[in-house]
Chains A and B, each alone.
Chain A
Amino acid sequence: MSLGSFRLDSGGLIDRGRKISFTFDDRIYHGYHGDTLASALLANGVRLVGRSFKYHRPRGIYGLGSEEPNALVRLRQGARAEPNIRATQIELYDGLVAHSQNNWPSLRWDISSTLGLFSRFLPAGFYYKTFMWPGKFWPYYENFIRHMAGMGRSPEAPDPDRYEKRHGNCDVLIIGGGPAGLAAALSAAKGGALVWLADEGARLGGRCLGDGNETVRETIATLASLENVTVLRRTTVFGKYDDHLYGLLEHTGDHLASPARGMPRQRLWHLRTKQAVLASGAIERPLVFANNDRPGVMLTTAVLHYLRAYAVRSGKRAVINTSNDSAYRAAQILAAHGIEIAAIVDHRPGTKRRDMPGVEILPGHAVIDTSGGRDLTGVTIARLAGNGDTVRGSERRLDCDLLCLSGGFTPCVHLYSQAGGKLTYRQDIQSLVPQSDVPGMLVVGAAAGEFGGDEFAGGEAAMGRPISLSKSRRKQFIDLQNDVTAADVELAAREGYRSVEHVKRYTTLGMGTDQGKTSNLNGIAALASALDKPLADVGITTYRPPYTPVTIGALAGREIGVFLAPTRRTPMQDCHEKAGAVFTPAGLWQRPHYYPRPGETATDAVNREVLAVRRNVAVVDVSTLGRIDLHGPDVVEFLDRIYINGFNTLAVGMCRYGVMLRDDGMIFDDGTVARMSETQFIMTTTTANAGPVMAHLEYYLQVVWPELRVHLTSITDQWAVAAVAGPRSRDLLDSLDSSIAFASQAMPHMAWRAGHIGGIPAQVFRISFSGELAYEIAVPADHGHALWELLLATGGGFDVIPYGTEALTTLRTEKGHFVMGPEADGRATPGDMGLRAMLSAKKDFVGRRSLRLPGLAPAGRLNLVGLIPVDGGSSIPAGGILLQSQVAGPLPDKAGHVTTSVFSASLDKPIALAMVRDGRQRLGEELWAHSPLDGRIIAVTITDPVFIDPKGERLRA
Chain B
Amino acid sequence: MSRYSFASLVRHGVMGHRGWKPVWRDPEPKSSYDAIIVGGGGHGLASAYYLAKNHHLNNVAVLEKGWLGGGNTGRNTTIVRSNYLLDANARFYEHGMKLWEGLSRDLNFNVMFSQRGVLNLAHSKGQLETFRRRGNAMRLNGIDAELLNRGDVAALVPGMDLSGNARFPIEGGLLQPRGGTARHDAVAWGYARAADRRGVDIIQNCEVTGIRRDRTGVTGVETSRGFIASKRIGLAVAGHSTQLAAMAGVRLPIESHVLQAMVSEPVKPVLDTVVTFGAAHLYVSQSDKGELVMGGDIDGYNSFAQRGNLPVIEHVAACLLALFPQFSRLRILRTWGGIMDMTMDGSPIIGTTPVPGLFLNGGWCYGGFKATPASGWVFAHTMATGQPHSLNADLNLDRFRQGRVLDEKGAGPYPWAH
Contacts and interface: CB of A to CB of B under 8 A. Distances in A.
Interface of A: 53, 80-84, 120-121, 123, 126-133, 135, 138-139, 142, 145-147, 149-159, 161, 163, 239, 241-242, 245, 247, 268, 270, 418, 473, 487, 491, 494-499, 501-502, 505-506, 508, 513, 515, 544-546, 549-553, 555-557, 559-565, 567, 584-586, 593, 662-666, 668, 821-822, 825-827, 850, 853-856, 877-881, 883, 888, 890-892, 894, 897-899, 930-934
A544 B136 contact: no
B129 A151 contact: no
B91 A123 contact: no
Given A150-B289, A556-B328, A544 B13 contact: no
Nearest to A158: B325
Contacts of A501: 67, 70, 74
A853 B403 CA distance: 6
B140 A584 contact: no
B140 A560 contact: no
A502 B68 contact: yes
B207 to A, nearest CB: 15
Nearest to B294: A552
A560 B307 contact: no
Contact of B13 (A123, A146, A155): A123
A564 B324 CA distance: 13
Contact of B17 (A123, A241, A899): A123
Contact of B329 (A159, A557, A821, A855): A159
Nearest to B183: A128
B402 interface: yes
A545 B319 CA distance: 20
B150 interface: no
Nearest to A147: B269
B5 A130 contact: yes
Q: Which of B101, B105, B136 has the most CB of A within 10 A?
A: B136
Contacts of B115: 139
B335 A82 contact: no
Given A135-B104, A270-B310, A879 B167 contact: no
Contact of B189 (A128, A153, A158): A128
Interface string B307-347: 10110011101111110011111111111100000000000
B249 interface: no
Given A154-B330, A155-B326, 15 more contacts: A127-B112, A129-B9, A132-B110, A146-B269, A150-B268, A158-B326, A159-B328, A496-B24, A499-B67, A544-B336, A662-B413, A663-B413, A855-B402, A891-B141, A930-B136
Interface residues of B, number: 115
A263 to B, nearest CB: 17
7 contacts: A473-B16, A499-B204, A508-B289, A559-B314, A563-B167, A883-B140, A890-B142
A501 B403 CA distance: 43
A154 B268 contact: yes
Contacts of B289: 149-150, 508
B167 A564 contact: yes
Contacts of A80: 329
A855 B189 contact: no
Contacts of A892: 140
Contacts of B268: 147, 150-154
Given A133-B5, A892-B140, A933-B132, A552 B317 contact: yes
B5 A553 contact: no
B123 interface: yes
Contact of B331 (A126, A549, A663, A665): A549
A933 B146 contact: yes
Interface string B96-114: 0000011011001110111
Nearest to B15: A120
Given A491-B20, A552-B331, A890-B142, A879 B129 contact: yes
A242 B74 CA distance: 24
Interface of B: 4-6, 8-10, 13-14, 16-18, 20-24, 26, 66-68, 70, 74, 87, 91, 101-102, 104-105, 108-110, 112-115, 123-126, 129-137, 139-142, 145-147, 159, 161, 165-168, 183, 185-186, 189-190, 204, 264-270, 279-280, 286, 288-290, 307, 309-310, 313-315, 317-322, 325-336, 399, 402-405, 407, 409-413
A268 B407 CA distance: 39
| Residue among B16, B105, B319 with max Cβ neighbours from chain A (10 Å) | B16
B320 to A, nearest CB: 6
Contacts of B332: 546, 549-552, 555
B127 to A, nearest CB: 9
A585 B314 contact: no
A502 B73 CA distance: 13
Contacts of A931: 132, 136
A81 B140 CA distance: 47
Contacts of B186: 128
Contacts of B165: 561-562
A879 B133 contact: yes
B288 A146 contact: yes
Contacts of A154: 267-268, 270, 326-327, 330
Contacts of A563: 167
Contacts of B22: 494-496
Nearest to A101: B268
Contact of B135 (A157, A487, A850, A879): A879
